[in-house]
Structure 1
Amino acid sequence: MDISEFSRLNNKNKYSRHPWETSRKNVLHTFLKQAKIPFTIDRIVDIGSGDAYVIHTLVEKKLAKKYFAIDTAYTSEVIEQLKINNNYSEVNYVQNIQEYLENNSTDESTLFLCMDVLEHLENEKIILDHLKASNNNNFYFFAVPAFQSVFSSHDVLLGHYRRYTLEHLYSLLEKNGFKIIDKGYYFTTLLIFRKIDKFLKKDKEASIDNWQGGSFKTMLINTMLKIDFTISLLLKKIGINIPGLSCYSLCKK
C-alpha cells in the first residue's frame, strides 16, 4: 500500500490487507525463492516501500542482515506510525534514495526492490540513474503495471503516468545497463477483468485502502490469484509466457 492510500485509511493502526497486496507479496516470495540469490544477503532495500508491508514479510523470512524502506512520502509522523504498527522492527526508514546512498556503503551485497514505482515517475531515470553498478553482488527486482490499453481512471487515482509491456520494460532496463536474469507477466485473470471493465467503460474508481471485502471474499480472491499464478508459472516453464496485469524483471548490473 502506497502512502497516498495509507493516508486515506480510517484507522492507520489496524486495517485489513487487500488480497491484491497479499497475492503480490506471494508472487515476490516465489520469484525470490526461484532466483539464484545467495540468501542471507547483506541488505534488502525496498524503494517506494509505502506502508512497509512487503519488506516486513521478508524480515520474517530472515532473508537479509539489514533492511531499508525508502519512500519520498515518508514524514516523521508516518515513520513513527509505521514503527508502531510493526513493533519497532529492525527496518530502517529513509526518505529518498540519495539519502540512503550517502549514508550507507556500497560494498555490501544488496537486493533492491522497485515494485510498482516506475510508473509513478514522469522520467524513470530519477531512480534508475541512482542504481549504479557499484557491486557485482547486487540484484534488482522491478515490477510494473502492464498494458497501456487498460490505462484507466484507476491509474490516474494512483498517480500513474503509464503502463508497460514486457518488451518496454526490458528495453528500458537494458538501456540503463541492467542485465536481465528473468522476466515475465503475472495475474492474467486480473488483466481479463480489466479489459472487460474497459470494454464496458466501467473504470474502477476505488483503491486498495479501507478494504472491507470480508474474510470469505478475501480468501476467494487470494485462491483465484494463487491458481492463476501457478498456471502462468507452469506455462512459463514450457516456454509459454502469457500476458498479465503486471510484468516483472529480475536483473543484475
Structure 2
Amino acid sequence: MDLTEFDRLFDKKNYKRHPWEISRKKVLFKLLSASEIKFPIKRIVDIGGGDAYIINEIFKHKLADEYFTIDTAYSPEIIAQLKVNYGENSIHYVQNLTDYFNTFPTKENVLFLCMDVLEHLENEDEILQHLTRKNNYFLFAVPAFQTVFSQHDLLLGHYRRYNLKQLEKLLTKNQFQISDKGYYFSSLLLVRWIESIFNKNKKASIDNWTGTTFKSKLLVVILQLDFAFTRVIQKFGIKIYGLSCYCICKK
C-alpha cells in the first residue's frame, strides 16, 4: 500500500480517486481474466490492501468465495472506518500475514495479490517468506525502473523500483513459477522520466488528485488503450517498457 492512502479515509465525501488507481484496477481484472486461474476461486487475499479499494472491487465481481485484505495499518479505528466507507460485507481485514495464516488456515486454492507492495519493504522476504504453500496463485506488480526514482517515490515510502528481470529473479529465487509477465502503462514512463529530471520536488500523490471528472475519465481511457496496445505488441514478442511491471505465478 502507499502511505498516503490512509489520509483520505475520513473524507470519503470529498475524495476523488486518482485515474491511475482506476486504471490499475482495470489492468488487474484484464490480467486475471487472461490467466489460467479458474474463477470463482476459493479465496482472494490482497496483501498491502491500503484503503481496501481493490478488494472491494473484486468483491463486487464475485471472483471468490472468501475475501481478505491485509495491511499493517489496519488498526481497529481504521477497520471501523473502512466498513463505514464500503458498507458491511464479508471482507476480512487483517493486520499482518502471520495473523492471517494463524487465524484463517485453508487447504483450498488461494490467489494472493501483491500489487505495489514489495517496493515498500527494505527486505522483500518480509512477505515472500510467508508465501510457501503449494498450489496457490500470485500476482505481483511493482513500479519499474530505478532511473526514474524520484521525490514522488520517497513521498510514497518506496525503497526502490525494479525492472522485469529483477522481479523475475527475485521470484524464481523464492520458487515461484512465472506463467505471465510484462510491463504496463508505457505512456507514463516518459512522463515520469521527465518529472524525475525537472520536477524533483513533486508533491502530488494518489490521495490529492484534483482533476476534473472529464480529465479523470480521459486519462483512464488513454491508459486502457495504452495497456491494450502493449498486450497486443507483446504477443508478437516485442517488448515495450512501462512504468510498472508484473508477474503472475504459481507454486
Shift of 1:201: 4.6
Change in 2 beyond 3 A, CA 1:53/1:10? closer
Shift of 1:125: 0.4
For residue 189 of structure 2, what is the aligned residue in structure 1?
191
Matches of residues 178-217 of structure 1 in structure 2 within 5 Å?
178-217=176-215
SS of the residue aligned with 1:189? Answer: helix
Alignment partners' CA distance in 2, 1:151 and 1:77: 33
Partner amino acid for 2:235? K
Check the 8 A contact 2:70/2:94 in 1, yes or no: yes
For residue 9 of structure 1, what is the aligned residue in structure 2?
8
For residue 221 of structure 2, what is the aligned residue in structure 1?
223
For residue 30 of structure 2, what is the aligned residue in structure 1?
30
For residue 160 of structure 2, what is the aligned residue in structure 1?
162
Check the 8 A contact 1:197/1:203 in 2, yes or no: no
Structure 1 residues 157-166 or 232-241, which shifts more?
A: 232-241
For residue 110 of structure 2, what is the aligned residue in structure 1?
110
Alignment partners' CA distance in 1, 2:23 and 2:44: 20
For residue 80 of structure 1, what is the aligned residue in structure 2?
80
Alignment partners' CA distance in 2, 1:97 and 1:199: 38
Alignment partners' CA distance in 1, 2:28 and 2:199: 31
Matches of residues 36-51 of structure 1 in structure 2 within 5 Å?
36-51=36-51
Alignment partners' CA distance in 2, 1:12 and 1:86: 13
Alignment partners' CA distance in 2, 1:221 and 1:203: 23
Scaled by the length of structure 1, the TM-score of the pair is 0.95
Partner amino acid for 1:70? I
For residue 150 of structure 1, what is the aligned residue in structure 2?
148
For residue 93 of structure 2, what is the aligned residue in structure 1?
93
Shift of 1:98: 0.4
Change in 2 beyond 3 A, CA 1:90/1:10? closer
Shift of 1:202: 4.3
Structure 2, unmatched stretches of 5+, are none
Q: Which runs of 4+ in 1 moved over 6 A?
A: none
Alignment partners' CA distance in 2, 1:32 and 1:178: 17
Alignment partners' CA distance in 1, 2:5 and 2:178: 32
SS of the residue aligned with 2:130? Answer: coil
Partner amino acid for 2:144? A
Paired residues in the alignment total 250
SS of the residue aligned with 2:108? Answer: coil
Query: Percent identity of the aligned residues?
Result: 55
Q: Deviations over 1:41-92 (max 9, x none)?
A: 1100000000110111111110000000000011101000001111112110
Shift of 1:11: 4.5
Check the 8 A contact 2:150/2:200 in 1, yes or no: no
SS of the residue aligned with 2:183? Answer: strand
Structure 1, unmatched stretches of 5+, are none
Q: Deviations over 1:188-207 (max 9, x none)?
A: 01001011222335453211
Check the 8 A contact 1:6/1:12 in 2, yes or no: no
Scaled by the length of structure 2, the TM-score of the pair is 0.96
Q: Deviations over 1:129-158 (max 9, x none)?
A: 0000x232x100000000000000110010
SS of the residue aligned with 1:197? Answer: helix
Partner amino acid for 1:29? F
Shift of 1:7: 3.2
Check the 8 A contact 2:179/2:247 in 1, yes or no: yes
SS of the residue aligned with 1:111? Answer: strand
